[in-house]
C-alpha cells in the first residue's frame, strides 16, 4: 500500500515538473525579438539602388517564388535606427544591405519611414583591429633595450 502511494506521488510530481517546463517555453516565444524592427511591416531586402532612392524587398517570412516589391523612397523618408535615432546615410547605410530585415512604414510607392533593427553578430569595434598586431611596436622597443 505504501509503495503504491509513493509511486503515485512521484508520478504527480513528474507531471507537475513537465507542465512547468512547457509554460517556460511558451513565455520565451512571447518575448519580442530584438532583431526584428520595432515598427513597420518587416521585409527582407533583396536589392538596393541608392541613386534611384529605391529598394526591392519581400515579406520577412515569404516563401521562395514570391515576387519582390519595389519600395520608392523620397527625400522626406526617415531612416530610424534600433534605439530611435536618425540614420543619416539612408539607403547608403551599411545596415541597408541584401538580406537585411527592415521595417517599412507607408505605401510601396511612397515610403515614410524605414526602421533598422539591431544587427546580429559581433560587438562594436570587433573588426577595427583586424589584420593589425598591437604588440608589434612593443616588441621592437624591447629588442632595442636588450642591445644596450
What is the rounded CA–CA span in Å between residue 22 and residue 19? 5
- Residue-range domain boundaries for the chain: 41-115
pLDDT of residue 104: 92
CATH of domain 41-115: 2.40.50
H-run or E-run covering 70: strand 69-72
- Residue 83's pLDDT band (cuts 50, 70, 90): confident
Give the Cα-Cα-Cα angle 92, 119, 67 (nearest 5 degrees): 65
What's the confidence (pLDDT) of residue 139?
A: 55
The rounded distance, in Å, linking the Cα atoms of 83 and 27 is 24
**Cα dist. 26→21, 23, 30, 38, 135 in Å?**
9, 5, 7, 21, 49
pLDDT surpasses 60 at 85: yes
Q: Which of 52, 87, 86 is nearest to 70 (CA)?
A: 52
Helix (H, G, I), strand (E, B) or coil at 100: coil
Q: Note the Cα 109 to chain centre separation in Å.
A: 26
How do residues 16-74 score in pLDDT, each as one tens digit?
776 666 555 555 555 567 777 778 889 999 999 989 999 999 998 888 888 999 999 98
Strand pairing category for 101-107 and 41-49:
antiparallel
Amino acid at each position: 500500500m505504501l509503495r503504491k502511494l509513493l509511486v503515485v506521488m512521484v508520478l504527480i510530481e513528474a507531471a507537475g515538473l513537465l507542465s512547468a517546463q512547457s509554460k517556460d517555453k511558451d513565455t520565451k516565444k512571447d518575448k519580442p525579438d530584438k532583431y526584428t524592427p520595432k515598427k513597420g511591416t518587416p521585409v527582407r531586402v533583396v536589392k538596393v539602388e541608392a541613386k534611384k532612392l529605391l529598394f526591392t524587398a519581400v515579406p520577412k517570412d515569404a516563401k521562395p517564388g514570391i515576387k519582390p516589391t519595389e519600395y520608392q523612397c523620397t527625400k522626406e523618408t526617415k531612416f530610424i535606427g534600433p534605439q530611435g535615432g536618425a540614420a543619416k546615410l539612408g539607403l547608403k547605410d551599411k545596415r541597408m544591405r541584401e538580406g537585411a530585415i527592415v521595417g517599412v512604414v507607408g505605401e510601396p510607392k511612397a515610403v515614410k519611414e524605414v526602421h533598422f533593427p539591431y544587427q546580429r553578430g559581433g560587438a562594436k569595434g570587433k573588426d577595427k583591429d583586424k589584420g593589425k598586431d598591437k604588440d608589434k611596436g612593443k616588441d621592437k622597443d624591447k629588442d632595442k633595450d636588450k642591445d644596450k
